[in-house]
Amino acid sequence: MMKINYKVSMRILVIVILIALIYNFFSPNGIKLIREETTIQIIPDSLLITSENNNDQNRVINGISLKHTYNLFINKSATFIDARDQWDFNDGHIAGAINIPEFSFDATGPKVTSLNRDALYVIYCEGDDCDVSKRLAVQLIKLNFKSIYVFLGGWAEWINARYPIVKGEESK
């Protein structure tokens, strides 16, 4: 049994890291060395939301309150997107919402491509500590959707307020 030369291991590692960084720099799929955090900017209730409000930064998500969400619901000015899986969705969802589970998000699927990118969308998930609505928002913003909002209180806050819900599968 021969001894392992750790110096050689270290040398291999250093060279590989250099290759990786150089490749990443020139690759079209390359990513930034430091990951940017997604930040949530809370939109005050007094601000009127229309489909003219644009997401101008990739990593900033617009979050809205229950009151704001309910106004959009009453005015029918936004399409609601449920980011939870289909079973949670079938157990009950905001009336009129469509279901795009973040877990199986497919940017080229018929569900996403059929959406109007200029329209106003409100995304929600289970409650205020779930991530899928925010992640779905980032994905849609990347696809150049202009007005994406996240209802931060989510499903929990909505049923708590006894606002309209529907059970069962998505209406086609």
46 makes contact with other proteins (CB under 8 A): no
Q: 60 forms bridges with which residues in the sheet?
A: 39
24 makes contact with other proteins (CB under 8 A): yes
SS3 of residue 132 by DSSP: helix
59 makes contact with other proteins (CB under 8 A): no
Q: How far apart are CA 101 and CA 134, in angstroms?
A: 12
Task: Output 34 or 44, the one with its CB closest to other proteins.
Answer: 34
143 makes contact with other proteins (CB under 8 A): no
Q: To the nearest whole angstrom, how small is the minimum distance from the Cβ of residue 34 to other proteins? A: 5
Q: To the nearest whole angstrom, how small is the minimum distance from the Cβ of residue 8 to other proteins? A: 4
Q: Are 146 and 118 in contact (CB under 8 A)?
A: yes
Q: To the nearest whole angstrom, how small is the minimum distance from the Cβ of residue 144 to other proteins? A: 17
31 makes contact with other proteins (CB under 8 A): yes
Q: Which of the residues 3 through 22 are near other proteins (CB under 8 A)?
A: 4-9, 11-13, 15-17, 19-21
What are the tokens at 97?
């919402």
Task: Output 77 or 86, the one with its CB closest to other proteins.
Answer: 86
29 makes contact with other proteins (CB under 8 A): yes
26 makes contact with other proteins (CB under 8 A): no
What b/e string do you get for 18-43 counting C-beta neighbours within 10 Å, with b at 16 or more? eeeeeeeeeeeeeeeeeeeeeeeeeb
What are the tokens at 79?
């399409």
Class of residue 85 by CB neighbours under 10 A (exposed 0-12, middle 13-18, buried 19+) = middle
74 makes contact with other proteins (CB under 8 A): no
Q: Are 100 and 124 in contact (CB under 8 A)?
A: no
Residues lying near other proteins in the complex (CB under 8 A): 1-2, 4-9, 11-13, 15-17, 19-21, 23-24, 29-35, 37
